Structure 1
Amino acid sequence: MYVVTNAIRVKKGYASQLVERFKERKGIEQSPGFIRLELHVTQGLEDYDEVRVCTTWENKQSFEAWTQSEAFRKAHEQKAKDRPDYVLGNEMFSYEVALSFQA
């Protein structure tokens, strides 16, 4: 499995507004190899809030195919046009899942 996170920094008090923007799906759930999307709100930060958008994929190739898709382009094109002023920045990370346990 392959996991990609996008750590989005927002002004203090705006994490819930960013989470709301992700409730409307833009096609990622139909992308081959997509497993899940989770949003994590980081706790305990003083200067800003952070929302981590975490996506899980069958493999790196599935994620890369999503980033090359028309659905990805459309979803991110609109976000770029109306990026909220409360977004301070972001940083992307990617991981190969080395070990996983379930209950």
Structure 2
Amino acid sequence: MFYAMNRFRIAIGQEEAFEAIWKGRDSSLADMPGFLSFHLLRGESVPEEGYTLFVSNSTWKDKDAFSAWTKSENFRAAHKNAGDNRAMYLGPPKFEGFSVVEGA
């Protein structure tokens, strides 16, 4: 199993707009072989740094399935408007990928 996560630092006051973008987009993830689940997670606000942390978390059968998603037309379509709302982001997202070592 492979977990793909992107961390987003979203400007305080832009949280609901960010969530609406994610809720309204058609990612077509469920159409991809090896896709298992997706969650958008909202963390705590960090007022002294001006952001709220969000994490997109997708779970895949394996890293190859995730890599195929990133090279697919579905991926390009899901991310085509990603640059339209840069003002709400404090920097680019930070990707982190994880393979399961042990689990129950």
TM-score by length of 1: 0.87
Q: How far apart, in 2, do the equivalents of 1:94 and 1:51 lie?
A: 16
| Amino-acid identity (%) | 27
Q: How far apart, in 2, do the equivalents of 1:29 and 1:50 lie?
A: 25
In structure 2, runs of 5+ residues without a counterpart are none
1:44/1:11 Cα in 2 relative to 1: closer, same or farther (>3 Å)?
A: closer
Alignment counterpart, residue 87 of structure 1, candidates 69, 74, 89? 89
* Structure 2 letter corresponding to 1:59: D
Q: How far apart, in 1, do the equivalents of 2:16 and 2:58 lie?
A: 19
- Cα deviation, 1:66-96, whole Å, max 9, x if unaligned, reads 001001012212223x124111122110000
- Cα deviation, 1:40-77, whole Å, max 9, x if unaligned, reads 11125222111100110000000000001001012212
1:44/1:22 Cα in 2 relative to 1: closer, same or farther (>3 Å)?
A: closer
* Structure 2 letter corresponding to 1:86: M
* Structure 2 letter corresponding to 1:85: A
SS, match of residue 85 in structure 1: helix
Aligned length: 100
Contact (CA 8 Å) 1:15, 1:50: kept in 2 or not?
Answer: no
